[in-house]
Structure 1
Amino acid sequence: MKISPLLEGKGLISFEEITDYNLIDEKQLRLKKRKNSESVDPGVEAKKPKFLVKKNVDRKKTNKSKVKFSDEVTVGEFDKSDKQEIKIKKVKKLKNSKSKKAKKNKSHNSNSTSRLNMFKTDEDTENNFDQEDFETKMSAWFELALSKELLRGLYEKGFYQPMPIQKLVIPEAIKNRSNIIGTAQTGSGKTLAFGLPILTQLIDSANTNEFNKDTDSPAPQALILTPTRELAIQIKDHLQVCSKYKDIKIACVVGGISQLKQERLLLKNPEIIVATPGRLMQMIEEGHEYLNNIIRIKYLVIDEADRMIEKGHFSEVEKILGLVNKDDKVKTKRQNFLFSATLITKYDGDFDENKPKKEKTEAQIKREKRAKLNSLVEKIQMTKQPKFFDLTTQQVTAENLLESKIFCQLKEKDIYLYYFTCKYQGRTLVFANSIDCVRRLTNLFRLLKKTPLHLHANMDQKQRLKNLEKFNAQENSFLIASDVAARGLDIPGVKHVIHYQCPRSAEIYVHRSGRTARSTSEGLSVLLISPDEINLYRKIVKTFKKDKEIKDYPIDLDYYKSCESRVNLAKKIDELQHQLNREKNDSNWYTKNAKLMDIEIDDEILKETHVDDELVSKNRRKLSQYKQDLDRLLKQMIYPKFMSKKYLEPKNVEEILAINKSETTALNDFKNKINNKKKVKKEKI
C-alpha cells in the first residue's frame, strides 16, 4: 500500500482493516424505538425517558417502594407532596443554622427581624446587602423617624451615628413641623440636620400623592439659599447621596456655570433648588416659568444665616424673601430653617485704647441674643414661634481644635508659611484677606516649587471646582484661598489652617478655623500676626475670651534660617520678574495705541517711554542667576535641628529623614510644648 505524500513524516505507523461491523439503517432504528415505547407497561408514562418515569402508586403507601425497568435502571418513587416536605425541611435547617450563628455573635432585639425585613428588597439579595451589619450600625438612626430609603443612603455613605444637632433637630422638624433656628460648631452636621427632615417629608408626600395638590402647574417644594457657590454644590451632593434610593430631583442654581444648562435642569421640575441669591434672582427677573412658582415653596432654608441676612452683603436675599412671602396662606404652612455656626455674636466691641473698656453683663448679652433672633424671625416672616437649638460651647470653635499664634513682622510671614509647609506633612489651607495677596503667594510658592492651589472669587467657577477636587485628592496638598472657602465647605482631612492675614472679624476666624478639626478629628489653627494686626487679634481674644488659650507656636530657629534664604531669593526673583514685565508693557502701550489711532508720537515722548536695552539685558542676566541659585538651594535638604551638616554620613540620611517625618507633626510639636510647660510648672511648685 502506498502512503500519500501528505501523510509522510506525520508520525503514521500502520493501517488496520476493520471486518467485524454491521450497517444500520436510520429509518429502521426509529421504527424499533417506536415499537419499544408502545410495548412499555401501561401503568408507566410512555413518552418520558426511563430515568424520569414515575409509577402510579397509591399515595397511602410508603414512599420507600422502588420500580425496576427493563434496562435495570432503578428510580426512587416520590410525588409532589414529598417534594414540598423536602423543601420545608431544608428551609428549616437553614433558618436554624442562621439563628444559631446569630445568637453566638450577638443578642438581637425583639423587633430586629421586622426592621430588617422592612429594609430588605429584591435588589438587596442580588447585591448581597448585609442586613445584620446595617441593623447594628444604623440602630441609632431608627428613633429619628427617617424614611427607610434615606437610611440606606446614609448607611452606604458611612454616616452610622447622628450628630448631636441632628438628634435634636430632626424629630422636632418631622413630627411637629416646627420652624428651626440652629447654631452649632463647624463640622457638626448642620447640612443633614435640615436636609434629612425635608427629604423625609418630601418622600412621605410623594407616597401619598400630595405634590402640587392645589394646582396643576408644578412648583419647587424646597428652596435652600447659601452664600457661596461651592457650599451650594456641596449641599446638593450631600442630599443626592442621601436620596439615592428615591427619585427626588435636586437642582443647583449658582453663578459661574452655564445658565442654559441650569435652565435645562429646571425644565425637569426639581423638587429642591439649592441656590446662591445672585444667580437665582437673575433668573427670576428674566421670567423663568418654573421659578415664578417659587411663591409656593413648602420649605425654606437659609444656611450661614448671619452672613446672608446682614445689611450690605446680599441685597438679593431681601428680594427673594419678598417673593416667597407674598402668599399669606402658603407662608403660614411653610417650614423655615435658619442655620449657622456663629448665628449670635457674643461681643461687638470697639478697641480704641483711649476709650474705657466696658464688659457686658449677662443680662445685656441675653437681650442682644433676643434682639437678633427677633430680627431674623421678622425678616423671614415666621408665623409660628421657632424652636431654637444652640449647641455652641463657650469656646465656639470645635473642641478638637488646637489654636496657636506667631507674632512676626510683615516681611517674615512668607518665611513662616514656607517653614510650616516644608517641615510638616498634611493637607494645609492658607487664608488671606485679599485676592491680590492670594495671587502673590501663589506665584511666590510656585517659584519655591510647592505646587500651591488657589481659590478666590474672581476665578472661573470650573477652575475653582477643579482646584477643590485636586485639594481633596492629594494628602499633602496646599491651598491658598480667600474667605470664599471659609464658610461651610466640608473638605475632609485638612490638618492645618493658617491665617496668613488676621481675619477682620471673630466670626470669620471661627469659620476659617472650622475647615479643620471636623467631626471627631483633630486639627491645628495658626495665626500669623504682624504689628498692624494686633487690634484684630485683640478683638478675637475679647469676643471669645481666649486670652489664656491661644498659645505661641514653637519654632525651630535652625530650620527657620534655612527657609529664610530660600524665601528671600524667591522674593527677589518675583520682584524682578514684575519689574521686567511692567517695563515691557509700559513701552509697548504708547506704540500700540498710536498705531490704533493712526497718530505719530513725538520723539521726546518716545525717549521718555523707551526702555534702556542695556538695563533690561542686565536685569535678565541677574534674573537667570537668581533662578540658578534658587534651584541649587531647593535641591539641598533643609536639615532639622539634630542633624549635623558637616559630619552627616550619606548612608544615614534616608533613615533620619524617615524618622523625622514620622514623629514630627505640627500637632505633636504643639502638644509637646504644652506638656513640657506643664511639667516645668509642676516642678517649680
Structure 2
Amino acid sequence: MASLNISKRSSAKRKISLPSSSRKKAKHQHRNADELPWKSVSRPSVAGMGGDEGILELEEVEGVEVIYETTEGGRVVKFNVLDAPSESEEPPVDDASEEIEEQVRQEDQEDEPVIVEETPTFDTENLLPNWHKFPLHPKIMMALHEKGFTSPTKIQAAALPFAFAGRDVVGVAQTGSGKTLAYGLPILHHLLSQPRPSRNRKRPVRALVLCPTRELALQVSSHLNALLTSVEFSPNTNVTGSGNSSQPSTSTQTPVPVGKKPPPHVSIAAIVGGMSAQKQRRIIDRGVDVLVATPGRLWDILEDDDELAQDIRDLKFLVLDEADRMIEAGHFAELENILRLTLLEAKDEPIFDDNSESKLVSQEDEEEDSKKGIKDGLQTFVFSATLSKDLQRNVKKKFRSKGNKKHYKRDQQPATTLDDLLLRLDFRDPDPEVIDLSPVGGVVSTLQEGKIECLSGDKDVYLYYFLLRYPGKSLVFLSSIDGIRRLMPLVELLNINAFPLHSQLEQRQRLKNLDRFTNMPNSVLLATDIAARGLDIPAVDHVIHFQIPRSADTYIHRNGRTARAMRKGFSMIMVAPDERRVVRALLGNLGRDEADIPEITIDLNMLDKLKARVQLARKIENTQHKIKKTNHDRNWMRETAETLGVDLDSDYMSESDNETKLSTQKRKAKDQKMQGMKAELKHLLSQPLLARGVIKNYITSGSVSIVDDLIAGSLNDTMVGMKKAEAGSEMTIAKKKKTPLVVATVKPEEFEEEWTGIDMAA
C-alpha cells in the first residue's frame, strides 16, 4: 500500500525508486512514519512558475503495509516495511534504472519495423508551375494538385519565401485568402522531411497553433489533415522487418502484414473545450506533431502534464491564428501563461540561493548574451485579418467629453497590435517580417455592401423581408445571446430554417448546427461573434448585421464569412436611428463615410403584408414565453423548498391552490386562444404574397401580367409578381438625391376587376 506525506521544503528532492533485486532480499521491519523510505514526487513545472517559495511538495513510499493494532491506550497505527533494503546497503539507483531503460529500449528497437520510404517523384514544373519555385516536399505538391490548388494566393506567395528562410512572419491579409496554408505548408514540409517517427516512441509536439475559438481550431486541424489524407501512405513506402538487418532496403522487400502498417508520418490533433478532456489527454499521451488548441483547454491540460510543458518549451513552430482577438486587453489570460513557456532562457543560467549576495546579472553579461544571439530554433507565425488598434476601439462607448478624442488611458500604451505582439511574444528573429495585404477600407473587392435604415422595433420585419426576397444561405450576427433567444422562436414560427450558434450551447450542438447550416441550401444561422473569425463555411451568400458590431475589426471579420476565395458575397447592416452615430464612428475607423454604403430598395406594399405575419408570430411567442416562465418559476420554488426542507408561505400556497383550481379552465381558454392564433398564422403563411397589380386567379389580367415571367421561371418563389434578384441588385445610391415616391394610380374599372377577381373563399 502506498501512502502520502506532504512536507514544505525549500529545495526539490531527487526521485528515488528501489530496484527489484534489493526488494527481494529485504526483511519485514516495523518502523515509524519518519523512518519510512520516502521518495519525492515531482510536481508539474507550470505550477511553480510564480516562484518556488511556499509550494508544498509531495512524497510517496511504496512497499509499506499499514497495520492497525488495538491496545489499552486505543487504536495504534504501525507501518510494516515489506521490502526495505538493509541500512548498510546503498541501492544502485541510477545504474540500475539506466540499465533497465536501455534494455527496454533495445527490445523495442528489435521488434520495431523499419520504414523505408522512397521519395515520390512529381512533375511540379509542368503540373504545378506556379508552385515550382517553392521547395515543398513532393507529397505536399501531390496533395496540392489533388485538391486543385493550382497556384498560391497572395499571402501564401508573400509569406512562404520568408518562412522557408527561417524568418518569423507576421501576416495581415483579408479573410478567406488562404492564411491557414501560409503557415501550414512550412510546418508540414519540415515534418515530412524528417524520418517517420517510431511506433514505440512518443513523438513530441513540434508545432503549436493557438486559435481564439473552438470552431476555428477544429477547422484548422481539419484543413491540415485533409491535405495529408490522400498522400499519407504512398505506394512507394515500404515496410520491412527487423531493425538490426544490414541488408539494403529495396522495393522488393516483404512488407509488414496487414494490421502493422506504419504510424502516420505527421500527426495533427485539436484540443478544445466542450469535449472530453480525458480523451484529449490520451491523444496527447500517444504523441502529436502538430497541436491545434484553444488557450483555455490547453492550459488546463498543461497544469497537470509536465512532459507537455517541456514540449512547449522545445517547440519548433509557434502559430497565433487571429492573433488580434487573443491579445485584446482582458481576454485569454491563459495565453499569457502559455506564451511564458516559450520565452527564450539563457543557457547555463546561474541559480542563486536566498542568502546569495549577488542576485542580478551584470549589465556587461547581458550585453554579451545579446551579442551572442542565442537561438533555439523556434519559428513564430502570426496571422490575422486585422492588426490595428484603431480597429479594436469600442465604438459603442461614449466619450467622456466632446473635446476628448483620446482613446487610451496612458500615452505609453502601444498604438498598434504589432507592438503588443513584440511585447508578449519572444520573436527569435530580431526583425520579424511583416506582410500587410489587407484591403483598403477592410472590404474585399468581391464583397458588396448595403444597408437598411429602420426603427429598432421593425428590424424583425425587414429581416423577414430580406430573407424571403433574397433566398440563400444567410448568416445573421447579433451582439448578445439574449437577442438570439428572442429571435430564434420568431423565425421558426415563420417557417424559416434557422439554427443558433453561441457560447452557451454545448459543443456537440454547436457543431451540429454548423453542419446543418452548411448542408442546407436556404437556411439561416443566428450567431454571436464567435462565428465571426476564421470559420470557412462554403457558399455563404449574405452576412446580415442585425445588431451593430462593437468595433471595426469585428465588422471586417463578420463580413469575411462571405465573399471568400474571390467568390461574390453581400453584406447588409441594419441601422436604427439611435445607431447612426455608432455606424459613423465604425466606418470612420475604416476611413470611410456613411454615404459610401447604399440603401436597399424595399417594396413597402409587400412589407405591410409581412408585418401582419411578424406581429402575429411575435404575439404567439410572447404568450408561450409567459406560460413557460410562470411554470418554471412555480416549479423552481416548489423544488427548492423541498430540497431545503422548508414550508412555503401560506399566502403563496393559497394563491397556488386557487390557481390550481382555476388552472384547468384557464389552461383550456389559453390553449384555445393559442390554437386560434397558430391557425391564423398558418393561414397567413399559406397565402401567396402578391405584388402590387397582380391578381391571383387571373395572371394575365390586372395592371401587371406575370404569365411570361411565370413560364420563364424568373419569378420569386414566395413573392408572386417580383422577379428573382440577387442581393445588391436593387439599391439606391445614398450620395445621389433620392427620387420622390411615385404612387401608382389605378382606374376604377381596373380596381373593380381586381377586387372581384379575388377568391374570397380561399
Q: Which amino acid aligns with 1:224?
A: V
Residue of structure 2 equivalent to 1:321 = 339
SS in structure 2 at match of 1:545: coil
Question: Could you tell me whether the CA contact under 8 Å between 2:211 and 2:294 is conserved in 1?
Answer: yes
Aligned to 1:553: 600
Q: 1:285 aligns with which of 303, 307, 312?
A: 303
Alpha-carbon distance between aligned partners in 1 of 2:495 and 2:709, rounded to the nearest angstrom: 21
In the alignment, structure 1 residue 624 sits paired with structure 2 residue 675: yes
Displacement of 1:120: 4.5
Distance 1:373 1:604, change over 3 A: closer
Is there any run of 5+ residues in structure 2 with no aligned partner, and where? 1-117, 233-264, 348-373, 718-722, 740-762
Q: 1:243 matched to which residue of 2? A: 228
Query: Which residue in 2 is equivalent to 1:403?
Result: 449
Q: Partner of 1:660: helix, strand, or coil?
A: coil
Query: How far apart in 1 are the matches of 2:592 and 2:693?
Result: 34
Using the alignment, how far apart are the partners of 1:378 and 1:599 within structure 2? 57
Q: Spell out, residue by residue over 1:412-466, the C-alpha distance to the aligned partner (whole angstroms, 9 max, x if none).
A: 1111111111111211100111111112211111111112111111111111111
Aligned to 2:427: 382
CA deviation string 1:300-322 (max 9, x = no partner): 00111111112211000000011
Q: Considering only CA atoms, is the larger Rg found in Structure 1 or Structure 2?
A: 1
Between stretches 371-380 and 405-414, larger displacement belongs to 371-380
The answer to whether 1:164 aligns with 2:166 is no
Letter paired with 1:502: I
Distance in 2 separating the partners of 1:433 and 1:657: 42
Asked if the contact 2:211–2:295 (Cα under 8 Å) also holds between the matched residues in 1, the reply is yes
Q: Is the 8 A contact 2:452 2:599 kept in 1?
A: yes
Aligned residues: 539
Match of 1:523 among 543, 551, 569: 569
2:188 is paired with a residue whose SS is: helix
Residue in structure 2 matching 1:265, options 283, 307, 311: 283
Q: Kindly tell me: are residues 302 and 594 of structure 1, through their superposed partners in 2, closer, same or farther at Cα, counting changes over 3 Å?
A: closer
For each residue in 1:165-192, what CA deviation from the matched residue of structure 2 results, as whole angstroms up to 9, or x when unmatched? 0000011101x11000110111111111
3-state secondary structure, aligned to 2:570: strand
Q: Deviations over 1:72-91 (max 9, x none)?
A: xxxxxxxxxxxxxxxxxxxx
Q: Structure 1: which 5+ runs fail to align?
A: 1-116, 122-130, 361-366, 681-685
Distance 2:639 2:444 in 1: 57
Per mean C-alpha deviation after superposition, the further-off stretch among 401-410 and 533-542 is 533-542
- Change in Cα spacing, 1:582 to 1:656, as seen in structure 2 (3 Å) is farther
Distance in 2 between the 1:323 and 1:599 partners? 53
Is residue 344–residue 369 contact of structure 1 (8 Å, CA) maintained in 2?
A: no
Alignment match of 2:621 (pick from 557, 569, 574): 574
1:399-548 equivalent positions in 2, closer than 5 A: 399-547=445-593, 548=595
**Are 1:665 and 2:725 an aligned pair?**
yes
Amino acid at match of 1:639: L
Distance 1:591 1:255, change over 3 A: closer
SS at match of 1:494: coil
The residue type paired with residue 168 of structure 2 is N
Change (3 A) 1:601 1:679: closer
Q: Give the 3-state SS of the residue equivalent to 2:286 in structure 1.
A: coil
Amino acid in the other structure paired with 2:619: K
SS in 1 for 2:448: strand
CA–CA distance in 2 between the matches of 1:382 and 1:597? 57
- Within-5 A mapping of 1:126-137: none
State the alpha-carbon separation in 1 of the partners of residues 734 and 483 from structure 2: 36
Q: Measure, in 2, the Cα distance between the counterparts of 1:625 and 1:590.
A: 32
- Name the aligned partner's letter for residue 280 of structure 1: L
- Report the equivalent of 2:212: 227
Equivalent position of 2:383 in the other structure: 339
Helix, strand or coil for the counterpart of 1:619? helix
| Pair 1:596–1:667, CA change in 2 (3 A) | closer
**Any residues of structure 2 matched to 1:53-92 within 5 Å, and which?**
none
Contact 1:554 1:669 in 2 (8 A): no
Q: Which has the higher helix share?
A: 1
Give the superposition deviation at 1:640.
Answer: 3.5
How far residue 390 of structure 1 moved from its aligned partner, in angstroms, is: 0.3
Per the alignment, residue 299 of structure 1 pairs with 317
Q: Does 1:636 align with 2:696?
A: no
Give 1:369 shift: 8.1
Residue 145 of structure 2 corresponds to 155
- With over 3 angstroms needed to count, the CA separation of the structure-2 counterparts of 1:656 and 1:369, relative to structure 1, is farther
Instruction: Specify the SS of the correspondent of 1:480.
Output: strand
Over the aligned positions, Cα root-mean-square deviation in angstroms equals: 3.1
Q: Secondary structure at the match of 1:178?
A: coil
Q: Which moved more, 1:346-355 or 1:330-339?
A: 346-355
Q: How far apart in 2 are the matches of 1:307 and 1:429?
A: 21
Structure 1 residues 222 and 353: alpha-carbon distance in aligned structure 2, compared to 1, 3 A threshold: closer
In 2, Cα distance between equivalents of 1:597 and 1:285: 37
Letter in 1 for 2:384: S
After TM superposition, the structure 1 = structure 2 runs for residues 117-132 of structure 1, keeping only pairs within 5 Å, are 120=121
- Give 1:114's aligned residue: none
Rounded Cα–Cα distance in structure 2 between residues aligned with 1:421 and 1:637: 16
Q: Which amino acid in the other structure matches residue 238 of structure 1?
A: H
SS of 1:193's equivalent in the other structure is: helix
Q: Which residue is 2:64 aligned to?
A: none
TM-score by length of 2: 0.66
Q: Is the 8 A contact 2:448 2:728 kept in 1?
A: no
CA positional deviation for 1:597:
4.7
Q: State the SS of the aligned residue for 1:572.
A: helix
Q: Residue type of the partner of 1:180?
A: V
Q: Give the alignment's TM-score, normalised by structure 1.
A: 0.73
Is the Cα–Cα contact under 8 Å of residues 351 and 535 in structure 1 kept in the other structure?
no
Which whole-Å CA distance do the structure 2 matches of 1:677 and 1:238 have between them? Answer: 46
Deviation string, structure 1 residues 39-95 (Cα, Å, up to 9, x no partner):
xxxxxxxxxxxxxxxxxxxxxxxxxxxxxxxxxxxxxxxxxxxxxxxxxxxxxxxxx
> More displaced, 143-152 or 341-350?
341-350
Residue 205 of structure 1 deviates from its aligned partner by: 3.3
1:312 aligns with 2:330: yes
1:190 aligns with 2:179: yes
**How far is 1:279 from its partner?**
0.5
Is residue 219–residue 294 contact of structure 1 (8 Å, CA) maintained in 2?
no
Would the alpha carbon gap of residues 562 and 666 (structure 1) be closer, same or farther in structure 2, given more than 3 Å must change?
Answer: farther
- Once the 2 structures are TM-superposed, how far is the Cα of residue 371 of structure 1 from its aligned partner? 5.1
Structure 1 counterpart of 2:4? none
Judge which range, 448-457 or 225-234, deviates more: 448-457
SS at match of 2:542: strand
Tell me, in whole angstroms, the C-alpha distance in 1 between the residues paired with 2:382 and 2:334: 17
Cα distance in 1, alignment partners of residues 405 and 633 from structure 2: 54
The answer to whether the 8 A contact 1:184-1:392 is kept is: yes
- CA–CA separation in structure 1 for the residues paired with 2:300 and 2:708: 61
Aligned pair in 2 of structure 1 residues 656, 457: CA closer, same or farther (>3 Å)?
farther
